[in-house]
């Protein structure tokens, strides 16, 4: 049994969105960087919070292609707060339009990947957020 | 935020108390901590050992691509539907090089969240034999949380990844068509640890042949019994109820028990032929137990049903029929005296007077039902209005608005309100009372508002049904033709009305009140468990022309 910190991340997209290339690419990059990556296709934004609680994840990454970038993210963040897990950071990626950015920042997302970022930057962002989450949780214990 | 688990014995005790009280956040964090700290895992094991085994532990293994997660996606909701509290551990392989893992079983194990269901994905890390080292501790934590059924899906197994049989009371090996020839079935290892073989993807070619081969695989070192072979299709649901029936009959054995200690499986469970018999295609899995009575699915004992517009006519009859089938009924309507009169005749009933078009009254009905009866299983959306015939060009605007409000908008609002508890319990049936005049024109009895409202209800039924189909809530409709009621009282003794009915209705008569009983009971009960989004016309053939 490993005693090293193994970051757990939840990557998700809508079940109705078949565009999964981006999320699979990020999942493999994170796996190869030593992350445990839980994948789900959510039906409702509240599903994401429910799974995040049960899976005790350190970071949530939400991928968008077609729409709902701000409203769905707001709903996910709201559901996390309702579940008393507002401490889990949410990052978004995929097709993020310029006019989405302000709304996403207002919703409280911790990072936005609009395409073109290096794997290294993505991985380090996830790692830093995961370490921060876990440290806060340990401090609260 | 919930209390997190730490290594000290004091805080561990507090955390275990929180888990026993149902705190799934603390449960989740406890599993994480146990994964990362062998010392803490050992402490948890020692703390919980005294409680002994509390759940039936079911292992599921099989080669990669055998459909294990998809099978669980069908089996787990069935266990939940049968009022079990279920814990699921989904184990996927970790990279030996980086320690990373893709935990993707949830993608195929599609399910809705439920208060009595906890699912956890686990990387195998340095575990072996198809499991993670934390598996046993996680099982104990799930049992401490309240699970009475724990399912453990192993990594996609090679032929010797068989450790799950040491933790489980019963081990299922899933195998899809195309597994291999008879020699593969005869080998020891994975095929030998199976207590139950599950042929997944049974709608595909080769399933019957594989089942016959597995049935001929022998007892695998057991004495006195061959092993059941069940054919399942998670896509169609075929075989799932039979598999859960079989699993429910298994009994927990002490941890470390061998498969031979599993409760004997009756010959009725054997889907393949005995080893000594000639090879023949297995019998299909029965959808219900052979001993089940044909009328059992119509039984509403323990169910709670709300009937709107229950003060007279069809609504009153509906309430009486549901009550006679065993349900507790909640009667709603505007006339309190009539409701009280009816409740006096029905042992398990309450009355909540109110106007269904008022939001506050609707909410009172739901609140009173949940407070006094604790649940809602059935909603009969019966309340409705109609008026004297008016040509469409002269129909007053307020008549239009009122009719749509009562017959359509209020129905939708009631469905919305009951959906919350029904979806939470993943079970419920909504029956909307529409009309044949939601299917065909009303004229010559002209009422455009009535026809539009009832037609809207037909497609509202479809929409709600599809939206909630996977979440256990069914929505159907009944479209009565002409029946005696307050609305039709003037027609019963009127010669011209009767001539119109004889001319238009193939059966040449109005319906009798009791001729809606059967379809109502069918749609309200589990007898129609695979039926949703449908409108059933009960009209003497009116709409068949």
User: Are both B46 and B88 inside the same structural domain?
Assistant: no
- Separation of alpha carbons B142 and B27, rounded Å: 8
Closest CA to B532 of B444, B465, B479: B465
Query: pLDDT band for position B535 (50/70/90)?
Result: very high
Domain final residue, candidates B32, B50, B68: B50
Kindly state the tokens that stand for B348: 């398990």
In this prediction, residue B181 carries a pLDDT of 53
The more confident residue out of B345 and B87 is B87
The predicted-structure confidence for B205-218, as pLDDT tens digits, reads as follows: 888 888 888 877 66
Find chain A residues with C-beta within 8 A of B121's C-beta. Answer: 36, 38, 55
Range of the domain at B397: 299-544
Contacts of A132 (CB under 8 A, 6+ apart): A89
Query: Does A1 contact B35 at a Cβ distance shorter than 8 Å?
Result: yes
The pLDDT, as a whole number, for residue B27 is 96
Q: Which residue of B15, B18, B24, B32 is the best one to mutate when testing the A interface, meaning the one whose CB has the most A CBs within 10 A?
A: B32
Strand partners, A90: A60
Instruction: Label the pairing between strands B535-538 and B349-353.
Output: unpaired
Using the beta-carbon criterion (under 8 Å), do B121 and A38 form an inter-chain contact?
A: yes
CB atoms A1 and B126 under 8 Å: yes
Q: How far apart are the first and last CA of chain A?
A: 22
In this predicted structure, the answer to whether residue B2 has a pLDDT above a threshold of 50 is: no
Residue B43 and residue B72 share a domain: no
Q: Helix, strand, or coil here: B215?
A: helix
Percent of chain B with pLDDT over 90: 49
- Name residues whose C-beta falls within 8 Å of residue B8's C-beta, 6 or more positions apart in sequence: none
At B111 the pLDDT is: 79
Distance from CA of A99 to the nearest CA of B (A): 31
Contact between B100 and A34 using a beta-carbon 8 Å cutoff:
yes
B265 pLDDT higher than 70:
no
Task: Return the residue of B nearest to A25 by Cα.
Answer: B102
Higher-confidence position of B251 and B107: B107
Query: Last residue of some domain: B249, B269, B289?
Result: B269
Are B80 and B124 in a shared domain?
A: yes
Average pLDDT, chain A: 91
Which chain A residue has its CA at the smallest distance from B41's CA?
A1
Rounded to an integer, the average pLDDT of B235-242 is 87
Residue B417 class from Cβ within 10 Å (0-12 exposed, 13-18 middle, 19+ buried)?
buried
CB atoms < 10 A from the CB of B68, how many? 28
In whole angstroms, give the CA distance from residue A41 to residue A39.
Answer: 7
The answer as to whether B276 is a domain residue is no
* ipTM of the modeled complex: 0.93
Domain count of the fold of chain B? 3
From the CA of B286, how many Å to the nearest CA of chain A? 32
Q: Which of A49-63, B183-197, B255-269, B290-304 has the highest mean pLDDT?
A: A49-63
**pLDDT tens sequence across B363-401:** 999 999 998 888 899 999 999 998 888 999 999 999 999
Q: Give which of A38, A57, A137 to mutate to test B binding, by max B Cβ within 10 Å.
A: A38
**Contacts of residue B110, Cβ cutoff 8 Å, sequence gap at least 6:** B73, B470
Task: Name the residue with higher pLDDT: B128 or B318.
Answer: B318
**Spatial contact of B46 and B52, defined as CB atoms under 8 Å apart:** no
Interface of B with A (CB under 8 A): 1-6, 11, 24-25, 28-29, 31-32, 35-38, 41, 94-95, 98-104, 106-107, 112-113, 118-121, 123, 125-127, 133-134
Residue B294 lies in a domain: no
Q: What is the per-residue pLDDT for B361?
A: 94
**Does B282 fall in a domain?**
no
Per-residue confidence band for B219, with pLDDT thresholds at 50, 70 and 90: low
CATH superfamily name and code, A8-140:
Cobalamin-binding domain (3.40.50.280)
Provide the pLDDT confidence category of residue B424 given band limits of 50, 70 and 90: confident
Examine residue B281 and state whether it is found in any structural domain, yes or no: no
Taking the C-alpha atoms of residue A78 and residue A71, their distance in angstroms, rounded to an integer, is 10
For residue B462, give how far its alpha carbon lies from the nearest alpha carbon of chain A (Å). Answer: 19
Question: Which pLDDT does position B273 carry in this prediction?
Answer: 25
In this prediction, residue B277 carries a pLDDT of 26
**Cβ pair B174, B66 in contact under 8 A:** yes
Lowest-confidence segment of A92-101, A113-122, B280-289 by average pLDDT: B280-289
Please name every residue paired with B332 in a beta bridge, in sequence order, or none if there are none: B352
Residue A1 has pLDDT above 70, yes or no: no
- Clarify whether residues B398 and B376 are in a common domain: yes
How close, in Å, is residue A32 to chain B by CA atoms? Answer: 6
As a dihedral over the C-alpha atoms of residue B525, residue B530, residue B536, residue B540, rounded to 10 degrees, the angle is -80
Q: What integer pLDDT is reported at residue B10 of this predicted model?
A: 63
Q: Check whether residue B222 and residue B87 sit in a common domain.
A: yes
Distances (CA, A) of B17 to B115, B123, B150, B445: 18, 27, 20, 67
d(CA B58, CA B259): 11
Residues B36 and B81 both lie in one domain: no
Both B38 and B97 in one domain: the answer is: no
The beta strand positions in B321-399, using DSSP E, are 328-333, 349-353, 378-381
User: Where along chain A do its domains lie?
Assistant: 8-140
Same domain membership, residue B462 and residue B367: yes
Tell me whether residues B121 and A6 touch, CB distance under 8 A: no
- On the question of pLDDT at B100 being above 80, the answer is yes
Nearby residues of B342 by Cβ (< 8 Å), 6 or more positions away: B310, B311, B316, B319, B331, B349, B351
Same domain as B262, residue B305: no
- Chain A CB contacts of B420 under 8 Å are none
The number of angstroms, rounded, from the C-alpha of B477 to the middle of its chain's C-alpha atoms is 20
């Amino acid at each position: 049994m490993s005693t090293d910190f193994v970051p757990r991340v939840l990557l998700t997209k809508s079940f109705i969105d078949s565009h999964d290339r981006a999320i699979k690419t990020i999942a493999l990059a994170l796996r190869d960087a030593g992350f445990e990556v839980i994948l789900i296709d959510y039906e409702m934004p509240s599903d994401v919070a429910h799974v995040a609680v049960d899976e005790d994840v350190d970071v949530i990454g939400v991928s968008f292609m077609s729409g709902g970038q701000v409203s769905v993210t707001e709903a996910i963040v709201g559901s996390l707060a309702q579940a008393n897990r507002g401490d889990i950071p949410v990052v978004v990626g995929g097709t993020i339009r310029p006019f989405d950015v302000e709304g996403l920042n207002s919703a409280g997302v911790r990072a936005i990947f609009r395409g073109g970022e290096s794997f290294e930057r993505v991985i380090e962002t996830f790692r830093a957020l995961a370490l921060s989450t876990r440290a806060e949780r340990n401090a609260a214990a | 935020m919930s209390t997190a688990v730490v290594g000290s014995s004091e805080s561990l005790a507090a955390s275990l108390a929180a888990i026993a009280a149902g705190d799934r956040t603390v449960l989740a964090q406890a599993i994480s901590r146990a994964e990362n700290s062998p010392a803490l895992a050992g402490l948890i094991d020692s703390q919980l050992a005294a409680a002994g085994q509390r759940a039936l532990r079911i292992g599921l293994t099989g080669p990669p691509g055998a459909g294990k997660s998809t099978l669980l996606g069908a089996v787990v909701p069935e266990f939940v539907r049968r009022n079990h509290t279920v814990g699921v551990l989904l184990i996927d392989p970790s990279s030996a090089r980086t320690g990373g893992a893709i935990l993707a079983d949830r993608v195929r194990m599609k399910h809705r969240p439920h208060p009595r269901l906890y699912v956890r994905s686990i990387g195998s890390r340095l575990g072996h034999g198809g499991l993670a080292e934390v598996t046993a501790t996680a099982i104990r934590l799930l049992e401490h949380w309240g699970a009475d059924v724990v399912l453990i899906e192993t990594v996609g197994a090679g032929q010797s990844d068989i450790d799950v049989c040491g933790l489980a009371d019963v081990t299922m090996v899933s195998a899809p068509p195309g597994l291999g020839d008879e020699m593969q079935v005869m080998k020891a290892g994975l095929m030998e640890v199976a207590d139950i073989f599950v042929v997944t993807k049974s709608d595909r070619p080769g399933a019957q042949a594989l089942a016959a081969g597995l049935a001929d695989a022998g007892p695998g070192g057991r004495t006195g019994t061959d092993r059941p072979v069940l054919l399942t299709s998670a896509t169609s649901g075929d075989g799932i109820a039979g598999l859960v029936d079989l699993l429910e009959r298994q009994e927990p054995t002490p941890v470390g028990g061998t498969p031979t200690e599993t409760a004997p499986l009756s010959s009725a469970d054997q889907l393949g032929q005995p080893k000594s018999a000639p090879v023949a295609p297995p019998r299909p899995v029965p959808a219900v137990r052979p001993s089940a009575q044909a009328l059992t699915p119509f039984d509403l004992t323990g169910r709670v049903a709300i009937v709107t517009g229950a003060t007279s006519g069809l609504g009153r009859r509906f309430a009486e029929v549901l009550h006679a089938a065993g349900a507790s009924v909640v009667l709603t309507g505007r006339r309190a005296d009539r409701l009280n009169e009816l409740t006096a005749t029905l042992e398990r009933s309450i009355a909540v007077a109110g106007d269904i078009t008022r939001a506050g009254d609707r909410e009172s009905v739901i609140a009173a039902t949940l407070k006094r009866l604790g649940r809602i299983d059935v909603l009969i959306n019966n309340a409705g209005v109609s008026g004297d015939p008016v040509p469409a060009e002269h129909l007053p605007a307020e008549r239009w608005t009122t009719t749509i409000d009562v017959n359509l908008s209020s129905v939708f609002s009631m469905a919305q309100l009951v959906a919350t508890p029904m979806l939470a319990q993943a079970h419920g049936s909504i029956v909307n009372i529409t009309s044949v005049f939601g299917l065909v024109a009303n004229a010559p009895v002209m009422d455009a508002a009535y026809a539009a409202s009832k037609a809207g209800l037909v497609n509202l039924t479809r929409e709600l049904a599809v939206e909630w189909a996977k979440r256990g809530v069914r929505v159907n409709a009944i479209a009565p033709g002409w029946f005696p009621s307050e609305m039709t009282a003037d027609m019963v003794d009127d010669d011209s009305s009767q001539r119109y009915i004889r001319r238009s209705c193939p059966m040449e008569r109005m319906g009798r009140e009791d001729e809606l009983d059967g379809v109502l009971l069918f749609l309200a009960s589990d007898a129609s468990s695979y039926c949703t989004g449908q409108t059933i016309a009960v009209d003497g053939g009116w709409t068949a022309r």
